[in-house]
């Protein structure tokens, strides 16, 4: 597996920046991840302890060096306040594809944060990393995530029945994909 590299300079638009997590992000990340919607629709543990979050933070460098995952903080472009998390994971390097994921803290929802972050990271993954395909999987019960995928230019492919085992239960996921030829440079500035 090739190692991954951080986007340099950090990915940004006029509202959000995608940058490496820092120690200073941990209190806000802990608060955001405790919102019931985050563990409901992601692999973030319910009632995640500060120690569990710190362990996750501690895996970032090794996952990057091992070509396994890239985790970035979504922060406010003006204040650098933590707004959520976005990342690339589940790489298949032979096929040049991976999955993109995100979660947004409750205080940042409804402002286009996830859409902006998904656009920035997906363009970079396809154009700079040279990946051929990105997948985005959203729980069938999460219409907000479906809207993010569609606004970010991802194409709905269908429902993957009983696709993911999360917190001891099987979940159906809506499958979306994005390839370089789908990128619309005119829409990249919209939220």
Domain CATH for 117: 3.40.630.30
In a domain, 4, yes or no: no
Question: Which residues fall within 8 angstroms of residue 176, CB to CB, at 6 or more apart?
Answer: 135, 136, 137, 138, 149, 150, 154, 155, 156, 157
Range of the domain at 57: 11-182
pLDDT band at 186 (very low <50, low <70, confident <90, very high): very low
In a domain, 168, yes or no: yes
Domain tally for the chain? Answer: 1
Task: Please report the pLDDT score of residue 185 as a whole number.
Answer: 52
Lowest mean pLDDT among 50-54, 69-73, 96-100, 128-132: 50-54
Helix (H) or strand (E) holding 57: helix 50-58
Q: Which residue has the higher pLDDT, 191 or 150?
A: 150
Task: Please report the pLDDT score of residue 53 as a whole number.
Answer: 92
Q: Give the pLDDT confidence of 5-49 residue by residue, as tens digits.
A: 999 999 999 999 999 999 999 999 999 999 999 989 998 888 888
pLDDT at 60 over 60: yes
Task: Please report the pLDDT score of residue 189 as a whole number.
Answer: 43
In a domain, 2, yes or no: no
**What is residue 182's DSSP assignment?**
G
In a domain, 30, yes or no: yes
């Amino acid at each position: 597996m090739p190692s991954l590299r951080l986007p340099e300079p950090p990915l940004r638009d006029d509202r959000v920046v995608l940058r490496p997590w820092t120690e200073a992000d941990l209190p806000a990340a802990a608060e955001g991840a405790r919102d019931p919607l985050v563990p409901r629709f992601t692999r973030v543990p319910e009632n995640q302890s500060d120690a569990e979050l710190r362990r996750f933070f501690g895996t970032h460098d090794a996952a990057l060096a091992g070509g396994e995952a890239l985790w970035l903080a979504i922060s406010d472009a003006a204040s650098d306040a933590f707004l959520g998390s976005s990342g690339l994971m589940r790489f298949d390097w032979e096929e040049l594809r991976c999955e993109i994921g995100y979660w947004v803290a409750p205080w940042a929802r409804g402002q286009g944060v996830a859409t902006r972050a998904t656009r920035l990271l997906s363009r970079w993954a396809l154009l700079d990393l040279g990946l051929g395909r990105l997948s985005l999987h959203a729980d069938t019960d999460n219409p907000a995530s479906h809207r993010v995928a569609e606004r970010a230019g991802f194409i709905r492919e269908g429902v993957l029945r009983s696709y993911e085992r999360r917190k001891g239960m099987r979940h159906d996921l809506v499958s979306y994909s994005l390839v370089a030829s789908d990128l619309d440079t005119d829409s990249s500035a919209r939220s």
